[in-house]
Structure 1
C-alpha cells in the first residue's frame, strides 16, 4: 500500500479521529503522545480502544497509533492496550527512538502483552527519528527488526535536541534526510518526511514535499486535512512518468526474452537499475509492476 500521506489525529478528540479516518489520507495515525495533554493520557487511550473496537474503521494497514515514548509513565500501558485488541492497528509509531534496543524492547513487550492474541503478532512499527542519538544510530535502528515498516523524521524535537533555530532554511536538514533515506532503503523500509508545521503555508508545503519526493522519500506526515492534496500531488507520479515506467519495463521484458540484460531506449541505455526505478514509480502510482 502507498504511504504518500499519514494524517495525525489526537486520540483525546474522537470526533477528529473519526473525521481523519473518513479522509483521503493513505494512513491515519491516532496520536497518544504530543497531541494529548498529560492529564488526558488515560482517557485518550480508552478512546483509542473504543474507536478501534466499536467503529467501522479502515483496513488495519491504513491505521496506526503513536504511543508515548519509552521511559514515560504511559508507554507500557499504551502497548498493552493495543496488543489486547482483537483488531489492533496495523502498526504503532514509536517516538524518540535512539537505538535498536528501543525497538527490541517494544516488540518484546508487545509479544508478552499479546501472547494469547494472534492478531498482536502482526503489529508492525514505524520509528520516529527525533534526537541526535537517533540520527547517529539510524542504521542500527533500521536493521533492528524485520517488523519495522518505516522511518520518519520528527523535526521539532530534533531541532530542540540539536539546538537548531526553528527558522533555519529547509535545505539545512538535507544531511539528516539523506541519512534516514539511506538507512531506510538499506533495510527495505519506507522513508517518510515529518509534518509541515505551518498549517496555512500550503505553498511552502508544496515546495518541500516536491523536493522530498525528488530526493526519494515515499511520503509525508500531515497535521491538517488541507495538507493531503499538496502531499498527494507531490508523491504521486504524473501520467507521463507512469507511462514511461511501463515503456521501460516492456522494453526490458522484450530484451530478456532474447537473452539481453539491457536495451537502448530513446538513445539511452536501460538496464536493471533503471527498471528498479520504474517499478518504484509504478508502486507510488498504486500499480503493480
Structure 2
C-alpha cells in the first residue's frame, strides 16, 4: 500500500483559470486549497490564454500561503502535456484530473509528470494527483486508483446532472440516497489505501441551507472534505468538516477519563454515560489532532 499523505483538506475551491481577478480574490476566500481550472470552466478558445494566466499567478498565490492545485485538460489520447509543462513547479502541490477510466490513466499522467518534473528541475514525484472519479469504471476501480503513490486523495463528487449522474444514470435528490453507495465506496477505498476521500460538489451555490444538508450527509458517510464552487460556500464546508470546540473538549475529557482508569489498573471506564476503552481514546486523539491541524 502506498503511503502518500497530505495535510487534511476540508475545502478545495475551483477557480476559472482564465479569470485573473477571480484568482486573486480566491486567495482571500479561506479555502484550504484552490483548484485553478484549465478544464471545464474555461472556453475552448481561451485555454492557451488561461494556461499562461495560471502559470503567472502561481508564485503570487504561494506568497499568500495558498495551497495550489491545477485541473488540467485531457488531450486526444493523453492528458494535456502543455498544461503539465506549464504548471509543474515546487510551488504547486499537485494536479487534478477529470474522468480517468482507471488506474492506467493515473500511471500515464504520472509518467508525464515525471518527465515535466525532470525538465523543470523539480524532484520527481513531487507533483501529486487527485483524480475525479466520474466514470463507472473508475468508481468500480476506486481502490486500485487510490493505491498509486502520487494519489493522496480520491474524489467522489455527485453534482446534479453532472458526469457521475450521467455515467450511472442516477436521479438526483437532496437526501442523496441514489449516491450513498458510491460515496461509501469512495470512502472505503480511500481509507483502505491510507488516502483522503473528498466529496461534493454543491452546484446550487446560493442555496446555503441545502449545502448544509449535503455537506453534513457527506461528512456522516466519512468524507474528509469536499469540492467547492463559490466563496460563499467555504465557511459552511470548513465548519462541517472541523471538530467543534465542544467535540474537542468532549474527546479530551474522554482521554483524561481513560488515563485515570488505567492509572487505577482498569482498561475501561464509563464516560458521559458510555463505556469507553483504548479504541475510543484512539478516535479521540485523531479528532483532537485534526482540530489542531486546522488551527495552525
TM-score (normalizing by structure 1): 0.88
Matching residue within 91, 94, 98 for 2:101: 98
Aligned-residue offset at 1:25: 0.9
**Matches of 1:102 and 1:58, distance apart in 2:** 33
Partner SS state of residue 25, structure 1:
coil
Report Cα offsets for 1:51-85 as digits up to 9, x if no partner. Answer: 1145554446x2111111364676221112222x3
Partner SS state of residue 18, structure 2:
coil
Aligned-residue offset at 1:118: 2.9
Matching residue within 3, 13, 32 for 1:7: 13
Would you say 1:28 and 2:34 are equivalent positions? yes
Map 1:191-202; keep pairs closer than 5 Å. Answer: 191-202=197-208
Identify unmatched segments of 5+ residues in structure 1: none
Matching residue within 82, 89, 92 for 1:89: 92
Q: 1:253 to 1:136 in 2, by over 3 A?
A: same
TM-score (normalizing by structure 2): 0.86
**Matches of 2:77 and 2:122, distance apart in 1:** 27
Partner SS state of residue 197, structure 1:
coil
Q: 1:95 to 1:254 in 2, by over 3 A?
A: farther
**Matches of 1:91 and 1:259, distance apart in 2:** 49
Aligned-residue offset at 1:261: 5.0
**Matches of 2:113 and 2:260, distance apart in 1:** 48
Q: 1:195 to 1:237 in 2, by over 3 A?
A: same
**Matches of 1:37 and 1:253, distance apart in 2:** 59
Structure 2 contact 12–33 (Cα < 8 Å) conserved: yes
User: CA RMSD, aligned part only?
Assistant: 2.4
Q: More displaced, 47-56 or 236-245?
A: 47-56
Identify unmatched segments of 5+ residues in structure 2: 1-6
Would you say 1:108 and 2:111 are equivalent positions? yes
Q: Report the equivalent of 1:134.
A: 138
Structure 2 contact 58–68 (Cα < 8 Å) conserved: no
Q: Report the equivalent of 1:242.
A: 248
Q: Report the equivalent of 1:215.
A: 221
Aligned-residue offset at 1:275: 2.7
Q: More displaced, 65-74 or 17-26?
A: 65-74
Partner SS state of residue 125, structure 2:
helix
Q: Report the equivalent of 2:127.
A: 123
Q: Report the equivalent of 1:187.
A: 193
Map 1:35-114; keep pairs closer than 5 Å. Answer: 35-53=41-59, 57-59=63-65, 62-69=67-74, 71=76, 75-83=80-88, 85=89, 87-114=90-117
**Matches of 1:93 and 1:68, distance apart in 2:** 9
